[in-house]
Amino acid sequence: MLAIIGGTGLTRLSTLAVRHREVIRTPYGEPSAALVFGELAGYRALFLARHGHGHTIPPHRVNYRANLWALKEQGASAVLAVASVGGIRDAIPGDLVLPHQLIDYTSGRAHTFFDGGDQQVVHIDFTHPYSQRLRAVCLAGAKRGRIALRDGGVYGAVCGPRLETAAEIDRMDRDGATLVGMTGMPEAGLARELGIDYASVCVVVNHAAGRGDSTAHVSMEQIANVLESAMDKVRTLIQHVVPLVPGEPRARTQPVSAVTSESAVDDP
């Protein structure tokens, strides 16, 4: 089953017909929010708000391990992570980008399930951090939905919550990062450790610090405006991606009146 992790601007998925919500406990604590079980485009799907339903959990405080563990335990075999990012190069505000690589600049986050103790030492392959299969499905879904989705980008994951200095962005650019965001790691690594197919749809909400119209400063107002308009494209994209995910279980047919739209459901 496909799980969607919604980031800033996507704490609810209005296209998800909600069946039920469940607070899941994991050996790593509680996920960011109750998992939302429902249907997207007639297929069973899961939704999790990365920053909590009220958008109160900053990127460095997200319990990434609990989030991924809960999704896996509840049957997610693939995760499509929606994330807002700054554009360093080849990306301008409003663009949707499907990165193919990442560089991890984060530190101090609980970033692995293989944490020693009485476990064997485990190393995972992470040469290609995003699932090639799920990326291909996203690109096909974008084509069907006529949504412009840039194929490829290098996601630089930073701690935040502050934005970067212009010099930090210059360094990331020299490193080869084309996007900068605060949540891509350890999320992608943990998904790989659990054997979950993981891809990320990045919504470019601003030029990164020192670039384009962020030369003097990064405008929070612009970020809010771009987020709002871009998320409609993300919802449409997801609708077209879900039916293409291999092995997606078709939902039981039930009268539409038996389900509620996510947007109509109050926070728990």
Contact yes or no for 176/108 (Cβ under 8 A): no
Query: Smallest distance, Å, CB 188 to ligand HPA?
Result: 15
CB of 86 to ligand HPA, least distance (A): 2
Q: How far is the CB of 206 from ligand HPA (least distance, A)?
A: 5
Q: CB under 8 Å to 142, separation ≥6 — which residues?
A: 96, 148, 149, 237, 240, 241
State both tokens at 248.
């997606």
Helices (H), strands (E): how many in the chain?
A: 5, 12
Which runs of consecutive H residues, i.e. helices, occur in 145-183? Answer: 166-175
Residue closer to ligand HPA by CB (options 10, 245) is 10
Footprint on residues 158-177 left by ligand HPA (CB under 6 A) = 158, 160, 163-164
Number of residues counted as binding ligand HPA (CB under 6 A) = 14
CB of 218 to ligand HPA, least distance (A): 6
Query: Which positions from 30 through 89 interact with ligand HPA, judged by CB under 6 A?
Result: 84-86
Residue 45 Cβ, how far from ligand HPA at the closest point, in Å?
A: 25
Select from 98-106, 155-163, 229-237, 251-259 the region that touches ligand HPA (CB under 6 A).
155-163
Query: Hey, what amino acid is at 24?
Result: I
Residue 247 near residue 23, CB atoms below 8 Å: no
Site string for ligand HPA, 112-151 (x = CB under 6 A): ----------------------------------------
Q: Cβ closer to ligand HPA: 2 or 180?
A: 180
- Is 94 within 8 Å of 148 (Cβ atoms)? no
String marking each residue 218-247 x if it binds ligand HPA according to CB under 6 A:
x-----------------------------
Q: Looking at 37-45, 104-112, 119-127, 157-165, which segment touches ligand HPA (CB under 6 A)?
A: 157-165
Question: What DSSP assignment string belongs to 190-208?
Answer: HHHHTT-EEEEEEEEEEEP
Q: Which is nearer to ligand HPA, 11 or 239 (CB)?
A: 11
Q: Which residue is nearest to ligand HPA (CB)?
A: 86
Instruction: Tell me the per-residue interface mask from 175 to 214 with ligand HPA, x by CB under 6 A, - otherwise.
Output: -----xxx----------------------xx-x------
Give least dist CB 94 to ligand HPA, A: 13
**Contact positions vs ligand HPA (CB under 6 A):** 84-86, 158, 160, 163-164, 180-182, 205-206, 208, 218
